[in-house]
Amino acid sequence: MIRRLFKKDGDDSLEELVTLAQDGDEEAQNHLLKQYQPFIAKSVSEVCKRYIDPSKDDEFSIGLMAFHEAIQSYSREKGSSFLSFAKLVVKRKVIDYIRNDQNNPVVASIDQEYDDEEQMENPQEVKAARDRYDLETESWYRRIEIHDFTEKLKTYKLSFEELTTVSPKHRDARESAIKVARTIYNDDQLRDFVLEKRKLPMKLLADKVEVSKKTLERNRKFILAIFIILHEDYVYLKDYIRGVGL
């Protein structure tokens, strides 16, 4: 069976291999770690902004360990695909590694400022350095999520740029659309339909929300975009809709 899965393409076979690895199948786990090294290297490269050599770069080793962690912690029930989840885990771990790497000039200089805090004439400079560093790191995470979100939008024939024009102008309309997206996400039948068809189930949805079909169609792209955010492991993008039907 395992050999058959190795030769079989598609998300379903990948998910099955991940499940086998989680159940302790070392052959499945080793296959995943070997087969997806190019995927890991590419994900790490997107963070480091340079070519990553799997045989030389420490960042790749961090990415490989993160991919293994993703295998063990992935839950299909949460909705996102394994590769989407794994990419985020790999990138976050590499960013954390860069952030804490004592050989990194930027990190070392900031850490030195922290260590010398008591000797500084103006401790506020230390706080400013910390705040600036935290903002830069947070910015890394946001860029990663936006990049992944942009790629995910393409699978729904949407673009990040057009969301600025299709988003409802009034707050009440936005809140209503977000609540519709949440309804879809929390309903197994609706969620499965969207994931399979990459479109809204208008007939099914009309019976479950107090929104007209005309309004659903007008806000279709925005609703789908919010559904994607709910469905994926986006920490910062979810802040955008937190407190509004979430």
Query: How far apart are the two ends of the chain, measured CA to CA in Å?
Result: 41
Specify the pLDDT at position 134.
62
Question: What topology is assigned to 1-100 in CATH?
Answer: Rna Polymerase Sigma Factor; Chain: A (1.10.1740)
- 164-199 confidence digits (pLDDT tens): 888 898 889 999 999 999 999 999 999 999 999 999
- The stretch 70-75 carries a mean pLDDT of 90
* Residue ranges of domains in the chain: 1-100, 102-154, 163-241
Instruction: Find the DSSP H helices in 155-234.
Output: 163-166, 171-186, 188-197, 202-206, 213-218, 220-231
Specify the pLDDT at position 120.
42
Band (242; pLDDT cuts 50, 70, 90): low
Residue 11, pLDDT above cutoff 80: no
Residue 121, pLDDT above cutoff 60: no
175 within 8 A of 245, measured Cβ to Cβ: yes
Residue with tokens 């962690």: 69
Residue with tokens 């960013």: 95
How many secondary structure helices (H) and strands (E) does the chain include? 15, 0
Higher pLDDT residue, 3 or 77? 77
Residue 19, pLDDT above cutoff 60: yes
Q: Does pTM top 0.75 for this prediction? A: no
Sign of CA dihedral 183, 187, 189, 191: positive
Residue 1, pLDDT above cutoff 80: no
215 within 8 A of 160, measured Cβ to Cβ: no
Residue 133, pLDDT above cutoff 60: no
Residue 33, pLDDT above cutoff 60: yes
